Amino acid sequence: MSQPTDPAAMPGQTPDITASEEAPQEVEAKIMVASQWKLIWWKFRRHKLAMISGIIVIAIYFVAAFAEFFEVFPPDQYAARYTYAPPQTIHLIDMSDGTPRLAPYVNGYKVTIDSFSLRRTFVVDPEQKIPFRFFAKGFEYKLLGIIPWDRHLIGPVNPEDPFYLLGADALGRDLLSRMIAGGRISMSIGLLGVAISLILGILLGGLSGYYGGAVDNIIQRIIEFLRSLPTIPLWMSLAAALPITWPPLYVYFGITIILSFIGWTGLARVVRGRFLALREEDFVLAARLDGAPQIYLIMRHMVPSFLSHIIASITLAIPGMILSETALSFLGLGLRPPVVSWGVLLQDAQNIRAVSTAPWLLIPGLAVVIAVLSLNFLGDGLRDAADPYGR
């Protein structure tokens, strides 16, 4: 972070940054004129795992944004006949006439009733074929809330047919559709929560780092205090205080605010640390001696040099938010049905009986793990790349 324009500080990076056929001098010249963001991108690109994770994260947010298109059925459409129907396997090639032809289908179900426990069990019936297609006509929706459409990425040719790629829950609702719908809520609560934490974190962390002294002391004590508390019990009691009569949207915002109420401390620490380090830098001193007004000094000179660190910290803070929301909803204190989030879905898997009858109810947990894991890797890569002048 020391001298932002010194190209000599990064000799070791030249080889894999640009195409190898270029002459060394040209490479060096390219690095010298490259902007800070370009350097960050070059460094980030070398981090393969972070690149892959970044693509996964973008894909998840893409699916979340266009959730209705990816859903097969409306997430709250129930079918009592298909209670706990197991997942179906996709067959792409139909071999029944002896010659293979491309006709994607899934097998239907045969229901047998166990004479002992009187429980219905589903057996996959290889005789029955339920053809499905891509860009199938299904329920009508508004894409992004504006464009009316009725096509879906995948769907049965006859919309009345059972089509459960990830199985069904206790009410015969399609788990895949519900998981996609839940992704929108879970992923956005992470973004929104971090946005609120960031505002608090930048404000308080910035005050703390910029002024130092007594202000710093008080804010640091508050942060230490909040960090020494066991968070889940605290979140639980705050969430339990949200009135039951509130509409789902209010609860959504209420939960987000509760999560950010403690989540800001981590970001505040990062911002403070950066401010403290930058305050002593020569270029800040130079700008101050030049008579730059304070707000200009902060916005023009200090913020650009720690923006990349903030972005990395944000990425690392989102998974925590997602995990917390999942935990709260799982306990029944967070979001409540009819709102669907990954935590709400996992609530169905709360007792061992449900899980042993329908182990696929745990699949939303896999979605949580994948989302959190890729956000963590992406954040790690960003953090390493955030300071392109180091080492």
- Name the site residues for other proteins (rule: CB under 8 A): 221, 224-225, 227-234, 236-238, 240-241, 243, 319, 323, 326-327, 330-333, 346, 349-350, 352, 355-356, 359, 362, 365, 368-369, 372-373, 376-377
Q: DSSP code of 104?
A: E
Instruction: Report the nearest approach of other proteins to the CB of residue 320 (Å).
Output: 10
List, in sequence order, the alpha helices (H) in 212-337: 213-227, 231-240, 248-279, 282-289, 294-296, 303-331
Instruction: Report the nearest approach of other proteins to the CB of residue 238 (Å).
Output: 7
* Residue 304, H or E segment: helix 303-331
Instruction: Report the nearest approach of other proteins to the CB of residue 236 (Å).
Output: 6
Cα–Cα distance measured from residue 251 to residue 249, given in angstroms and rounded to the nearest whole number: 5
Q: Which CB atom, from 71 or from 169, has the smaller least distance to other proteins?
A: 169
Q: Which CB atom, from 42 or from 330, has the smaller least distance to other proteins?
A: 330
Cα 154 off chain centre by: 23
**Which phi-psi region, left, alpha or beta, contains residue 18 (left: φ > 0; alpha: ψ -120 to 50)?**
beta
Instruction: Report the nearest approach of other proteins to the CB of residue 254 (Å).
Output: 12
Q: Which CB atom, from 187 or from 368, has the smaller least distance to other proteins?
A: 368
Closest to 201 in 3D by CA, of 221, 214, 219, 225: 219
Instruction: Report the nearest approach of other proteins to the CB of residue 145 (Å).
Output: 31
CB 305 within 8 A of CB 273: no
Q: From the CB of residue 2, how many other CB atoms can be counted at a distance below 10 Å?
A: 11
Nearest 5°: the CA angle 232, 377, 64 is 75
Q: Which CB atom, from 186 or from 256, has the smaller least distance to other proteins?
A: 186
Instruction: Report the nearest approach of other proteins to the CB of residue 224 (Å).
Output: 8
Q: Which CB atom, from 168 or from 361, has the smaller least distance to other proteins?
A: 361
Q: Which residues contact 10 (CB under 8 A, 6 or more apart)?
A: 31, 39, 388, 389, 391
Q: Which CB atom, from 26 or from 224, has the smaller least distance to other proteins?
A: 224
- CB burial of residue 179 (10 Å; 0-12, 13-18, 19+): buried
Q: 3-state DSSP call for residue 38?
A: helix
Instruction: Report the nearest approach of other proteins to the CB of residue 240 (Å).
Output: 4
Cα–Cα distance measured from residue 112 to residue 357, given in angstroms and rounded to the nearest whole number: 15
Nearest 5°: the CA angle 391, 51, 36 is 45
Q: Which CB atom, from 241 or from 286, has the smaller least distance to other proteins?
A: 241
Q: Which CB atom, from 180 or from 328, has the smaller least distance to other proteins?
A: 328
Joined together, the tokens standing for residue 247 give: 């509409």
CB 331 within 8 A of CB 346: no
Instruction: Report the nearest approach of other proteins to the CB of residue 149 (Å).
Output: 35
